[in-house]
């Protein structure tokens, strides 16, 4: 009774499944079909019902008959895929798992077939396959499939262009044949880790050798594929030519090295501050000028080193700079060195903006002009002394001129008085050649 119940339950499950389940004798005659199977043959003519292969597409029919006969002969289970025709003439793709049924002696006496409609599944697979194929051939990067030994199995057109070899030529070469010898150990270690399962992918930049010996840089993204149902593992590599990027990077690196060398060895101080005047970078010359180490300086701001008398001017200039009123400015200011001494400097300050154009930093070129300022002060003091001496000389000359004028005035007056017409003196006059000191003033005889 229990066995009968199990049989009924089994038949109920078979009848209600969506798959087509049929039992056929060794000649292909239908012995049993479940409900979906019976619907499959509904509408056939009586003579068509006797042919189990009548619904199979004519192009696939002979192949399936031959495989059915071989399965009966060998007793091997087969998975068959074929196209089938519906009553309205449309085509479906069917997949059938066919297993032999044996008697107690082991002879094949029937075939059990479980078939299902895989049209939508295969259509999706076909779309995916076509999409992958299109991407493989039209993508802007190189793609190749290699086995675990590095032999090329497939290569798209872009990879052939990058490497300079056709797909047929690549199939006779390995990744090692195309990799610059100096880069092989590094790439080899990554591939070994990949195959051993220590990593599942890696990215590496390496140099490849093209026909004729030309060397180019490429970046490779490599992953391993292990088929879930067994089969040989293989690797997929996506390759892009980065030679031009490498050249640009090298040029940028050289420029950065040059700028760094200029920064470090400039004969003037260079300092970069943020909007709050905190020091972000300062070259050795600037640090030596002020006597601070790099660590000490980065804990200070520009305000900490500014002379009190220059505070207001510096604040106004920086506010105008960061507000965009002026792109730069130059002025002479005083720094307070670590030892307390005052250092005069000429500052040329410019604004640095970020990529969006917002003000971010100020860069200052600082020239020590302390000696020049001292020399200017000394020259100024000397000039004042010379001006004082000049004024003294002018005063002395003016005094002497007045003295001479006074003496001349007195003598002329005396001469005029002594030579009046009413009392004309006839006394002899001294010779003009006699020295002034040796000749006394003339004395008139009449006066005596």
What pLDDT sits at residue 445?
43
The count of other CB atoms within 10 Å of the CB of residue 437 is 6
Q: Are 361 and 314 in contact (CB under 8 A)?
A: no
Report the CATH superfamily, name and number, of domain 266-371.
PAS domain (3.30.450.20)
Question: Could you tell me which residues come within 8 angstroms of residue 210 by beta carbon, excluding any fewer than 6 positions away?
Answer: 163, 164, 216
Question: How far, in Å, CA of 123 to CA of 61, rounded?
Answer: 21
Question: How far, in Å, CA of 339 to CA of 292, rounded?
Answer: 10
What pLDDT sits at residue 437?
47
DSSP codes joined into one string, 340-392: S-EEEEEEEEEEEE-TTS-EEEEEEEEEE-HHHHHHHHHHHHHHHHHHHHHHH
Instruction: Write down the mean pLDDT value for the chain.
Output: 86
Class of domain 139-247: alpha beta
Please determine, for residue 444, whether its predicted confidence score (pLDDT) is greater than 70: no
Given 3.30.450.20, 3.90.230.10, 3.50.50.60, 2.40.160.20, which CATH number is that of 12-119? 3.30.450.20
pLDDT band for 133, please (50, 70, 90 cuts): confident
pLDDT band for 3, please (50, 70, 90 cuts): low
Query: Average of pLDDT values for 139-146?
Result: 94
Which residue, 34, 32, 14, 15, is CA-closest to 23? 32
Q: 209-225: buried (b, 16+ CB within 10 Å) or exposed (e) per residue?
A: beeeeeebbbbbebebe
Please determine, for residue 440, whether its predicted confidence score (pLDDT) is greater than 60: no
For the chain, the distance separating the N- and C-terminal CA atoms, rounded to the nearest angstrom, is 197
Which residue intervals of the chain bear CATH 3.30.450.20?
A: 12-119, 139-247, 266-371
pLDDT band for 36, please (50, 70, 90 cuts): confident
Please determine, for residue 46, whether its predicted confidence score (pLDDT) is greater than 70: no
Query: Average of pLDDT values for 393-422?
Result: 76
Model pLDDT for residues 78-121, shown as the tens digit of each residue: 999 999 888 788 888 999 999 999 998 889 999 999 999 888 88
Which residue, 341, 343, 405, is CA-closest to 372? 343
Question: How far, in Å, CA of 358 to CA of 336, rounded?
Answer: 31
pLDDT band for 446, please (50, 70, 90 cuts): very low
Please determine, for residue 219, whether its predicted confidence score (pLDDT) is greater than 50: yes
Length of the chain, in residues: 448
Please determine, for residue 284, whether its predicted confidence score (pLDDT) is greater than 50: yes
Which residue, 337, 355, 215, 323, is CA-closest to 286? 337
Query: Average of pLDDT values for 273-302?
Result: 94
Q: How many C-alpha atoms does 313 have within 13 Å on its Cβ side?
A: 12
Phi/psi for 261 (5° steps) reads: -65, -40
Please determine, for residue 226, whether its predicted confidence score (pLDDT) is greater than 60: yes
Which residue, 186, 204, 351, 373, is CA-closest to 275? 351
């Amino acid at each position: 009774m229990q066995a009968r119940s199990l049989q009924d339950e089994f038949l109920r499950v078979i009848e209600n499944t969506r798959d087509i389940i049929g039992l056929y004798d060794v000649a292909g005659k239908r012995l049993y079909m479940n409900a979906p199977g019976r619907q499959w043959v509904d509408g056939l003519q009586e003579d068509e019902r006797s042919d189990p292969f009548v619904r199979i597409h004519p192009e696939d029919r002979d192949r399936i008959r031959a495989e059915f006969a071989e399965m009966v002969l060998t007793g091997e289970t087969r998975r068959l895929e074929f196209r089938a025709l519906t009553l309205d003439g449309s085509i479906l793709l069917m997949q059938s798992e066919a297993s032999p049924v044996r008697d107690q002696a082991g002879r094949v006496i029937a075939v059990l077939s479980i078939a299902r409609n895989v049209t939508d599944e295969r259509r999706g697979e076909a779309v995916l396959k076509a999409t992958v194929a299109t991407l493989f051939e039209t993508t802007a990067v190189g793609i190749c499939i290699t086995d675990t030994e590095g032999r090329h199995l497939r290569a798209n057109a872009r990879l052939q262009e990058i490497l300079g070899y056709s797909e047929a030529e690549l199939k006779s070469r390995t990744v090692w044949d195309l990799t610059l010898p100096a880069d092989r150990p590094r790439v080899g270690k990554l591939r070994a880790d990949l195959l051993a399962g220590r990593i599942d992918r890696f990215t590496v930049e390496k140099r490849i050798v093209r026909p004729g010996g030309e060397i180019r840089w490429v970046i490779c993204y490599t992953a391993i594929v292990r088929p879930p149902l067994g089969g040989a593992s293989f690797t997929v590599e996506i390759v892009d030519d980065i030679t031009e990027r490498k050249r640009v990077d090298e040029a940028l690196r050289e420029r950065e090295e040059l700028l760094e060398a200029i920064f470090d060895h400039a004969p003037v101080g260079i300092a970069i501050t943020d909007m709050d005047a905190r020091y972000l970078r300062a070259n050795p010359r600037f640090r030596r000028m002020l006597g601070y180490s790099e660590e000490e300086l980065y804990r200070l701001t520009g305000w900490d080193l500014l002379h009190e008398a220059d505070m207001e001017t510096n604040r106004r200039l920086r506010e105008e700079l960061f507000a965009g009123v002026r792109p730069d400015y130059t002025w002479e200011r005083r720094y307070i060195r670590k030892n307390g001494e005052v250092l005069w400097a000429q500052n040329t300050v410019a604004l640095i903006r970020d990529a969006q154009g917002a003000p971010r930093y100020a860069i200052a070129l600082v020239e020590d002009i302390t000696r020049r300022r001292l020399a200017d002060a000394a020259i100024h003091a000397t000039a004042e002394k010379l001006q004082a001496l000049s004024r003294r000389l002018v005063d002395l000359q003016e005094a002497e001129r007045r003295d001479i004028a006074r003496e001349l005035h007195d003598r002329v007056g005396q001469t005029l008085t002594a030579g009046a017409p009413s009392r004309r003196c006839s006394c002899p006059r001294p010779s003009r050649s006699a020295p002034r000191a040796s000749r006394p003033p003339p004395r008139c005889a009449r006066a005596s």
